[in-house]
């Protein structure tokens, strides 16, 4: 990336002009003296360079010299003279009648210098001001490349180029030619104009944007302009009627080039100390603020700009300290398009940040989620697919945040509650997030663990997720029991469907064999039908039975595998409950043997003994503290009830496993 400064390039330099203009001017002065016999009588100083010229050519064409050379023979042009010594050399060549080549590189400087020296039609017919205006209008402004060159030179010739309306004419010409490029009246384009509508469903990527903009050269030329000129070009495009779906991508590409890309960050970091007052508008904060002001709002931006671009601008605005109202504008647009975003677009706290739970990025995302929920709370209807999508995105985002070891359970619960329970159709992302939090915080209490996991609903988990939860030692007992109960219902349902399918398939085979071997004409149910008519149902029926049997076999094997993987967990929990029951019986014996002791003194040692016994015999370690939080009578009833449930599950599984070897043999027939 390069920024042209006045020190690097002269405003009147041109690749087509002669490098020996000073030598040519001396030859012209000598020739004039020889032809007229008049010596050199005027000295003109431009900055640090002195020019020896004749008075008559200057005063006959320049009103400025006519005023200042009336009683003086030496004139010093001010520092504000546009173009400097190089431009004055070319002006002097024109004064002496030379036809020096004019081109898009030097015409702006020559026109500004001619205006400063008052070389108008009032002093001479066909003077320089008129000649340069004709060249601008008839040559430069008719070409896209020449107009861009002239507009870039205008930046170093302010305010003269602005006063002479050269900047405005160049901007209007570029906007008009860009509209013609989009409309393409002559059908010269082979490909459609680049838009970013198809990128709305993808995660934001600066490299992808760079590849897209390279497809249209006219867009690439526009985003190379200084921001002041670029902003006016965008305004002119909208004024001339270009559709927003073609205007907004140009703004996106400009921000990507000068603010968001890695190359832009490196450029501003390396040149931040070199930018002076003249480069104020090139600062990234000013450009970012201007880009936010240029972006469309409301419904115009819904399908025109990807939501990932707004996230990228918001992240950059947090780094550069953008104005509060600009951040609010970006958050409002993100809120309206949140269900179209990707989790990769969300603001992630920096990896080196000490406290992710209190980072600015996380607080900003909380504000966006809260705004989305508030905007949808006033609508009285069932949750839409967009709400389900937002809940999944938020839970996936919390999966990365939950790995922060400094995250407290209370803070984690607040983050989960940002999304209402009705928004969560699938709880597996929330299960992954909760599991990540428990892995990162192994030392939290059982009460905190139960509070963190209270948001999980096993009914909204898939069968595989329930099995995973049962086998997860980090999950509390309440969740495990709920998952086991659902597994029992699912297993019972699977075996019932499997048995019904076996019975139906077996009966279908028997009925098919009878109808085919013993009664070949029994397929005609109606008396009016002919037994010799071809029936497609008769030929397709055995194939459907075979496919159904394969499906039944797969379901049966899958259900058996689920039962076997769950049975081990049930046995461990049953052993834990048996140890708890024995400790309760021991407590009853101690209570009857020592009637004179206070009730509180008897309960405390038994509770300690129960906890130590449970720790010795419990390989998992979650059930004891969860059940011991209630009184012993409720513990006894709860343990007996769980034992009955596990006993029924065991008996149910044993019956089904006994039927397992016989079932495939029937299918093999």
Q: Give the position of tokens 């006016």.
A: 232
Q: Give the position of tokens 């104009």.
A: 193
The length of the chain in residues reads 669
Least reliable range by pLDDT among 189-198, 271-280, 314-323: 271-280
pLDDT of residue 165: 94
> Is residue 346 situated within a structural domain?
no
Q: How far is CA 522 from CA 507, 514, 530, 539, 543, in A?
A: 16, 9, 11, 15, 19
Q: Which of 167, 183, 199 is the last residue of a domain?
A: 183
pLDDT of residue 535: 40
Q: Report the distance separating Cα 90 and Cα 98, nearest Å.
A: 9
> Is residue 249 situated within a structural domain?
no
> Is residue 310 situated within a structural domain?
no
> Is residue 107 situated within a structural domain?
yes
Q: Which of 54, 118, 56, 53 is nearest to 81 (CA)?
A: 118
Least reliable range by pLDDT among 374-388, 460-474, 618-632: 618-632
Q: Report the distance separating Cα 578 and Cα 647, nearest Å.
A: 12
Q: Which of 481, 499, 517 is the last residue of a domain?
A: 499
Which of the 8 DSSP states describes residue 280?
G
Q: Report the distance separating Cα 138 and Cα 279, nearest Å.
A: 32
Residue 145 is part of which domain span? Answer: 21-183
Question: In this structure, what is the dihedral angle of CA atoms 565, 566, 570, 573, given to the nearest 10 degrees?
Answer: 90
> Is residue 141 situated within a structural domain?
yes
> Is residue 127 situated within a structural domain?
yes
Beta bridge pairs of residue 51: 44
Q: At what angle do helices 227-239 and 166-183 cross, to 10 degrees?
A: 50
DSSP, collapsed to helix, strand or coil, labels residue 51 as strand
Mean model confidence pLDDT for the chain: 74
Q: Which of 466, 532, 502, 485 is nearest to 642 (CA)?
A: 485
Give pLDDT tens digits for 61-76: 888 888 888 777 888 8
Give pLDDT tens digits for 562-577: 545 555 566 666 666 6
Beta bridge pairs of residue 515: none
Give pLDDT tens digits for 308-329: 889 999 998 888 877 888 888 8
Q: Which of 446, 477, 499 is the last residue of a domain?
A: 499
Q: Report the distance separating Cα 435 and Cα 475, nearest Å.
A: 8
> Is residue 253 situated within a structural domain?
no
pLDDT of residue 444: 84
pLDDT at 288 over 60: yes
Q: What backbone phi and psi angles, to 5 degrees, belong to 414? A: -65, -40
Q: At what angle do helices 360-377 and 385-401 cross, to 10 degrees?
A: 160
CA angle, 558 then 562 then 566, to 5°: 170
Task: Report yes or no on whether pTM surpasses 0.85.
Answer: no
Q: Report the distance separating Cα 5 and Cα 606, nearest Å.
A: 86
Beta bridge pairs of residue 75: 44
Q: Report the distance separating Cα 86 and Cα 49, nearest Å.
A: 10
- Number of structural domains found in the chain: 2
Least reliable range by pLDDT among 23-27, 251-255, 287-291: 23-27
Read off the tokens for 478: 């309440």
- State what percent of residues in the chain have pLDDT above 70: 67
Per-residue DSSP letters for 323-348? Answer: -HHHHHHHHHHHHHTGGG--GGGS--
CA angle, 28 then 31 then 32, to 5°: 85
Neighbours of 585 (CB within 10 A): 11
- 126-133, long-range: CB < 8 A, 24+ apart: 127/61, 128/61, 128/91, 128/94, 131/102, 132/102, 132/107
User: 101 or 294: which carries more pLDDT confidence?
Assistant: 294
Q: How far is CA 666 from CA 274, 282, 495, 515, in A?
A: 86, 81, 16, 20
User: 4 or 478: which carries more pLDDT confidence?
Assistant: 478
Q: What is the distance, to the nearest Å, from the Cα of residue 59 to the centroid of all Cα atoms in its chain?
A: 65
Beta bridge pairs of residue 46: 49, 77
DSSP, collapsed to helix, strand or coil, labels residue 427 as coil
> Is residue 299 situated within a structural domain?
no
pLDDT at 561 over 70: no
Q: Report the distance separating Cα 12 and Cα 133, nearest Å.
A: 16
DSSP, collapsed to helix, strand or coil, labels residue 50 as strand
CATH code for position 46 = 3.30.710.10
Q: What backbone phi and psi angles, to 5 degrees, belong to 473? A: -75, -15
Q: Report the distance separating Cα 483 and Cα 485, nearest Å.
A: 5
């Amino acid at each position: 990336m390069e920024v042209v400064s006045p020190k690097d390039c002269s405003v009147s330099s041109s690749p087509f002009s002669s490098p020996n203009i000073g030598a040519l001017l001396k030859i012209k002065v000598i020739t004039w003296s020889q032809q007229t016999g008049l010596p050199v009588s005027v000295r003109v100083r431009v900055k640090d360079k002195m020019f020896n010229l004749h008075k008559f050519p200057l005063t006959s064409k320049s009103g400025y010299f006519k005023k200042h050379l009336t009683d003086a023979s030496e004139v010093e042009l001010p520092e504000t003279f546009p173009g400097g010594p190089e431009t004055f050399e070319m002006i002097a060549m024109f004064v002496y009648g030379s036809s020096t080549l004019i081109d898009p590189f030097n015409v702006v400087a020559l026109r500004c210098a001619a205006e400063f020296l008052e070389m108008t039609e009032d002093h001479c017919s066909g003077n320089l001001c008129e000649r340069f205006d004709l060249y601008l209008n008839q040559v430069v402004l008719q070409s896209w490349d020449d107009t861009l060159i002239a507009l870039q030179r205008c930046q170093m010739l302010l305010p003269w180029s602005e006063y002479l309306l050269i900047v405005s004419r160049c901007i209007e010409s570029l906007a008009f030619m860009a509209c013609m490029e989009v409309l393409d009246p002559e059908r010269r384009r082979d490909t459609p104009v680049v838009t970013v509508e198809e990128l709305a469903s993808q995660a934001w990527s600066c490299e992808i944007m760079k590849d897209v903009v390279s497809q249209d050269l006219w867009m690439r030329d526009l985003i190379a302009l200084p921001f002041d000129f670029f902003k006016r070009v965008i305004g002119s495009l909208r004024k001339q009627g270009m559709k927003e779906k073609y205007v907004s991508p140009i703004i996106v590409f400009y921000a990507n080039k000068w603010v968001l890309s890695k190359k832009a960050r490196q450029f501003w970091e390396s040149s931040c100390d070199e930018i002076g007052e003249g480069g104020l508008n090139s600062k990234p904060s000013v450009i970012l603020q201007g880009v936010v002001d240029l972006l469309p709002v409301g419904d115009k931006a819904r399908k025109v700009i990807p939501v990932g671009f707004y996230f990228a601008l918001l992240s950059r605005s947090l780094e550069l300290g953008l104005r509060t109202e600009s951040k609010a504008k970006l958050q409002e647009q993100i809120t309206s398009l949140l269900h179209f975003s990707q989790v990769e677009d969300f603001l992630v706290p920096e990896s080196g940040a000490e406290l992710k739970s209190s980072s600015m990025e996380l607080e900003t995302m909380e504000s966006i989620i809260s705004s989305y929920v508030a905007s949808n709370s006033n609508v009285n209807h069932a949750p839409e697919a967009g709400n389900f999508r937002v809940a999944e995105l938020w839970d996936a985002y919390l999966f990365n945040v939950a790995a922060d070891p400094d995250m407290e359970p209370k803070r984690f619960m607040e983050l989960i509650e940002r999304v209402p329970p009705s928004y969560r159709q699938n709880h597996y992302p929330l299960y992954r997030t909760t599991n990540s939090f428990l892995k990162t915080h192994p030392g939290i209490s059982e009460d905190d663990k139960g509070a963190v996991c209270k948001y999980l609903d096993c009914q909204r988990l898939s069968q595989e997720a329930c099995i995973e939860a049962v086998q997860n030692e980090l999950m509390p007992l309440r969740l495990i029991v709920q998952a086991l109960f659902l597994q029992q219902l699912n297993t019972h349902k699977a075996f019932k469907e499997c048995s019904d399918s076996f019975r139906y398939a077996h009966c279908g085979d028997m009925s098919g064999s009878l109808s085919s071997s013993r009664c070949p004409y029994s397929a005609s149910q109606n008396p009016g039908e002919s037994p010799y008519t071809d029936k497609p149902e008769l030929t397709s029926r055995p194939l459907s039975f075979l496919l159904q049997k394969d499906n039944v076999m797969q379901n049966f094997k899958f259900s058996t595998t689920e039962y076997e993987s769950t049975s081990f967990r049930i046995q461990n929990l049953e052993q834990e409950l048996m140890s708890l029951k024995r400790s309760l019986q021991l407590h009853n014996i101690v209570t009857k043997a020592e009637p004179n002791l206070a009730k509180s003194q008897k309960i405390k040692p038994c509770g300690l003994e129960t906890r130590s016994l449970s720790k010795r015999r419990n390989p998992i370690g979650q059930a004891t503290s969860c059940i011991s939080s209630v009184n012993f009578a409720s513990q006894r009833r709860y343990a007996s009830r769980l034992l009955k449930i596990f006993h029924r599950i065991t008996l149910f599984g044993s019956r089904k496993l006994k039927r397992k070897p016989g079932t495939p043999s029937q299918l093999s027939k």
